[in-house]
Amino acid sequence: MIVYWLCFILFLVGLYGVITRRNLIKIAISLSIMEFSTFLFFALVGYSEGGVAPIVDPADPVKLYVDPLPQALVLTAIVIGLATTALLMAVIIRIYRKYGSLDIREIKNLRG
Amino acid sequence: MKGMTTIVKQTTKLIAGMIFMYGIYVIVHGHLTPGGGFAGGVIMAGSFILLILAYGSDFLKLLKEESGTTMYENLAMIVVLFLAVSGLLLGTHVFFLNWIPKGTVGHLVSAGILPLYNIFVGIEVAASIVTIFLALIIFKEEVSK
Amino acid sequence: MNPLIPLLVVIPLAGAFLIMILGRFIRNFNKILASVVLLLLAIISFYFLFNTGDKISVYKVGGWEAVNSIPIGIYMVVDGFTAIILCIINLIGFLSVFYSISYIAKYTSEDFFYALFCLMIAGMNGVVASGDIFNIFVFLEISSISSYALVAFGVEKQQLEASFKYQVLGGLASFLILFAIGFLYWRTKTLNIADIRTALGSGGDRKFYIMAEIMLLTGFGLKAAIMPFHAWLPDAHSSAPSPISAMLSGVLIKAVGIYVIIRLFFNMFVINEEMAVLITALGTISMVIGVFLAIGQWDIKRLLAYHSISQMGYVVMSVGIGMILMSRGIRHEVATLAVTGGIFHLINHAAFKGLLFLNAGAIEYSTGTRDLKEMGGLAKSMPVTSATSFVASLSISGIPPFNGFFSKLIIIIAAVMAHFYLLAALAGIVSIITLASFLKFQRYAFYNKEPDKEKKEIREVPFPMLFSMIVLSIICLLLSLLVFPGIRETILTPATDILTDPSKYSTYIIGL
């Protein structure tokens, strides 16, 4: 039970980083920490006591397998997270070239 | 950008081919062992990135835009979509159906259409990661104010 | 098993990648293929609209049939409500692509624009046509990532900053949604919407499901820009190129925001009173504060973006009133009326808000500015734009015989009949303030004296842009026919029947 609480605490750590950090790259890294905590939570949900990895071997029969569906979902979600982070990094590089600094307090062109 | 020292170049010459072969192994055995299209594609991209970093873009005479890798990525995606739709046209008219005969469990040539999906998804993931690397790191001098 | 259902996703995906391959060899290939793809999709969605009626079409991807009546495959479901949203997405998408044939000629690398646009349409079609919550998440991410890239398309300083803000908040929402999906999978061990409803209906921990409901409401509320979560909307919608603003504000916040909230809270979770009161309160706050923030704006597109928040508040408030009445189990016909008003306002808002953003783009194309204080007297030099903008302004303020009047009337009548007099009064006051705000827009942009500075030659915009604007204004007039009894039976009543009948959706799909 305590591992699920730890996943949620990791999510809140990432959220704290997004809110309070000033450097743009640190905001991007905190966003990645939030998504990794979600993947960890998904992988832990499928665990059942005494199960083995879900690979079928016709030589020796096994009674109990761990649930393989969350593992497939996490694989898809990792690729989606890669695409999100890549696009965020490309926009950060262009912002640095236009504004000249990576501090979020300098980037306030839009108001109102 | 310039390359690295001689020791790195000699080591990379030996290792890069083996990393590429390992990536192909992970892709093709996707229905027997963990891995499959995504993980194998990233390993294949890793070998290309290692070569580019060790030898430098001046030595390899890379073109000024990433048109080659983008073409591979789009072609592989079109083939994946065509394989998915082929279940709709042939056989029993269901999208995404596994219509090639499946062999016995545990052999390399089995499980219907899954190894074909793995191969083309692996090519696509490798091409897109090399495109991202080239666009962000190598060709960063192309935009002027 | 209708084979047209997966084609809704496959055709725009294939179109996007074909544009990238063949666009560098054949000139003008990207515009022609994008228009043809979206025209085909619009025809398919109109076929669904007129043929669905009361039945629910289910497509089992991969042919995996249910085992012991437990669904084990991925299901794609098209029913009455889905058909309406499909028509909105594809028709306004087609008109936006046609508009952007001449608007995007100012930017470089047009191939990427049309490919990303087709990917965004594919993602939105996938969200509304899926019957499985993880599938909704994957297609939601496809369309969101395409829209992040489209907002930053012309790389100016303002567009990059707006895109960064949009990306951080949108990413936060997506990961909250994924966490909530993990929660639901933990307890019910299934991902199918109908199957989760069956598992939830047999009792269980109330506190656990409230946590999942709050996280889903926050995540999708961030995507739909309801009031405490609206901070990205004015910047993103005002800095994007105009056809993308019309798509974002007219279609995206409805298809991936409001549609999923309505579908999950009516058809998946068991309706309870606390969540219904919370949803109504959020809708009312958005409606009131949105319009007060909109009056003081001098930039055209920021004005329209704040009005989007206010009109979405109307829809959420009306749906919330329906939920409150259904949870108490009384006055079922008033609940049906409230939900009908909400869905009708959703359709109307897509039409007139799309038209208003296309007009703002036409003004910016001709005069080169977006500030209301610098323009004036455009009614003489741009007659078609000023006529269509007049039609759209009257529609959004609720003047008969345009479509906004009928949907706001149904919402106010439903609120009065349910004895929520305060909400009805607020809806009326907000409508009057909206009228004041749009009269200001019309006066300063079109009917003022021309400024005396030296100005460029202001001419009417080219033909593709005119065609889209004229077709949308005709649709604004035609949509007011939806309130008549004969036409309403075929289009609006199946949608509200699916939503207000508590178990019709799940019992039909489990039985297949």
Higher pLDDT: C119 or C449? It is C119
Angstroms from C11 CA to nearest CA on chain B:
10
Is residue A100 within 8 angstroms of chain B, CB to CB? no
The CA angle B62-B63-B66, to the nearest 5 degrees, is 105
**Distant-in-sequence, close-in-space partners of C369: CB < 8 Å, separation ≥ 6:** C375
Q: Which of C20, C63, C155 has the CB atom closest to B74's CB atom?
A: C20
Contact B38 A57 (CB under 8 A): no
Q: Rounded distance, CA C102 to CA C91, Å?
A: 19
Is residue C134 within 8 angstroms of chain A, CB to CB? yes
Q: What is the DSSP string of C67-119?
A: BTTB--SEEEEE-HHHHHHHHHHHHHHHHHHHHHHHHGGGSS-HHHHHHHHHH
Those chains having 3 or more beta-carbon pairs within 8 angstroms of chain C are A, B
Q: Which of B38, B132, B135 has the CB atom closest to A75's CB atom?
A: B38
pLDDT of residue B87: 74
pLDDT of residue B141: 58
Is residue B95 within 8 angstroms of chain C, CB to CB? yes
Q: What angle do the packed helices A2-20 and C157-188 form, to 10 degrees?
A: 170
Q: Rounded distance, CA C243 to CA C257, Å?
A: 20
Angstroms from A90 CA to nearest CA on chain B:
7
Nearest residue in chain A measured CA to CA from B35: A75
Contact A57 B106 (CB under 8 A): yes
**Distant-in-sequence, close-in-space partners of C457: CB < 8 Å, separation ≥ 6:** none
Q: Are C155 and A99 in contact (CB under 8 A)?
A: no
Cβ contacts below 8 Å, chain B against chain C, sum to: 41
For the CA atoms of C384, C388, C394, C396, the dihedral, rounded to the nearest 10 degrees, stands at -150
Mean pLDDT of chain B: 82
Residue range C125-151: average pLDDT?
93
Tokens standing for residue C490: 């075929």
At C433 the three-state DSSP class reads helix
pLDDT of residue C458: 75
Q: Model confidence over B89-136: pLDDT tens digits?
A: 776 566 666 666 666 666 777 777 888 888 999 999 999 999 888 888
Q: Model confidence over C143-170: pLDDT tens digits?
A: 999 999 999 888 788 888 899 999 999 9
Q: How many C-beta neighbours within 10 Å does residue A3 have?
A: 10
Contact C21 B75 (CB under 8 A): yes
Is residue B140 within 8 angstroms of chain A, CB to CB? yes
pLDDT of residue C147: 93
Contact A79 B38 (CB under 8 A): yes
The domain limits of chain C are: 155-511
pLDDT of residue A112: 57
Q: How many C-beta neighbours within 10 Å does residue C278 have?
A: 15
Q: What are the b/e assignments for A8-18, b being 16+ CB within 10 Å?
A: eebbeebbebb
Those chains having 3 or more beta-carbon pairs within 8 angstroms of chain A are B, C
Those chains having 3 or more beta-carbon pairs within 8 angstroms of chain B are A, C
Helix (H) or strand (E) holding C57: strand C57-61
Q: Quote ipTM for the complex.
A: 0.94
Contact B70 C61 (CB under 8 A): no
Question: Given phi > 0 = left and psi -120 to 50 = alpha, else beta, which region is B106?
Answer: left
In chain A, what residues touch B140 (CB-CB under 8 Å)? 93
Nearest residue in chain B measured CA to CA from A89: B136
In chain B, what residues touch A75 (CB-CB under 8 Å)? 36, 38
Residue range C301-307: average pLDDT?
90
Mean pLDDT of chain C: 87
Tokens standing for residue A73: 């979902």
**Distant-in-sequence, close-in-space partners of A50: CB < 8 Å, separation ≥ 6:** A64
Contact C185 A70 (CB under 8 A): yes
Q: Which residue in the block uniquely carries the two structure tokens 């269980």?
A: C204
pLDDT of residue B100: 67
In chain C, what residues touch A99 (CB-CB under 8 Å)? 157
Angstroms from B95 CA to nearest CA on chain C:
6
**Distant-in-sequence, close-in-space partners of C349: CB < 8 Å, separation ≥ 6:** C250, C254, C308, C311, C312, C315, C396
At C130 the three-state DSSP class reads strand
Nearest residue in chain C measured CA to CA from A19: C168
Q: Which residue in the block uniquely carries the two structure tokens 């009269």?
A: C439
Angstroms from C17 CA to nearest CA on chain A:
17
Residue range C112-122: average pLDDT?
93
Q: Model confidence over B2-54: pLDDT tens digits?
A: 778 899 999 999 999 999 999 999 998 888 888 888 999 999 999 999 998 88
The pLDDT averaged over each successive group of 10 residues in chain A (112 residues) is: 90 93 93 93 88 79 85 92 93 87 82 62
Chain A residues touching chain C at CB-CB below 8 Å: 11, 15, 18, 24, 27, 31, 34-35, 38, 41-42, 45, 69-70, 73, 76-77, 80, 83-84, 87-88, 91-92, 94-95, 98-99, 107, 109-110, 112
For residue C87, the one-letter residue type is: C
Nearest residue in chain B measured CA to CA from A92: B136
pLDDT of residue A26: 94
Alpha helix (H) ranges present in chain B? Answer: 6-28, 37-55, 57-60, 67-89, 114-133
Looking at chain C, how many residues does it have? 512
Is 50 exceeded by the pLDDT of residue B145?
Answer: no
Q: Rounded distance, CA B42 to CA C119, Å?
A: 23
Angstroms from A57 CA to nearest CA on chain B:
7
Q: Are C388 and C360 in contact (CB under 8 A)?
A: no
In chain B, what residues touch A90 (CB-CB under 8 Å)? 135-136
In chain C, what residues touch B89 (CB-CB under 8 Å)? none
pLDDT of residue B64: 67
Distances (CA, A) of C50 to C76, C241, C463, C490, C491: 19, 34, 31, 7, 8
Q: Which of C138, C158, C168 has the CB atom closest to A31's CB atom?
A: C168
Q: Rounded distance, CA B44 to CA B19, Å?
A: 7
Is 70 exceeded by the pLDDT of residue C385?
Answer: yes
In chain C, what residues touch B70 (CB-CB under 8 Å)? 20
Q: Which of B70, B92, B95 has the CB atom closest to C6's CB atom?
A: B95
Highest mean pLDDT among C36-50, C51-65, C377-391 belongs to C36-50
Which residues are bridge partners to A65 per DSSP? Answer: A52
Residue range C284-303: average pLDDT?
89
At C471 the three-state DSSP class reads helix
Q: Model confidence over B95-107: pLDDT tens digits?
A: 666 666 666 666 7
Q: How far apart are the first and last CA of chain B?
A: 22
pLDDT of residue B144: 45
Q: Are C162 and A100 in contact (CB under 8 A)?
A: no
Q: Which of C434, C439, C451, C461 is nearest to C371 (CA)?
A: C451
Contact C163 A91 (CB under 8 A): yes
pLDDT of residue C453: 60
Name which of B38, B75, B90, B95 to mutate to probe chain C: the one with the most chain C Cβ atoms within 10 A of its Cβ: B95
Name which of A39, A52, A71, A75 to mutate to probe chain B: the one with the most chain B Cβ atoms within 10 A of its Cβ: A75
Q: Rounded distance, CA B104 to CA B87, Å?
A: 22
- Domain formed by A2-54+62-99, architecture: Orthogonal Bundle (1.10)
Q: Which of C3, C20, C60 has the CB atom closest to B93's CB atom?
A: C3
Question: Given phi > 0 = left and psi -120 to 50 = alpha, else beta, which region is C394?
Answer: alpha
- Give percent of chain C with pLDDT exceeding 70: 98
Q: Which residue in the block uniquely carries the two structure tokens 């909206």?
A: C434
Nearest residue in chain B measured CA to CA from A55: B33
Q: Which residue in the block uniquely carries the two structure tokens 């929660």?
A: C183
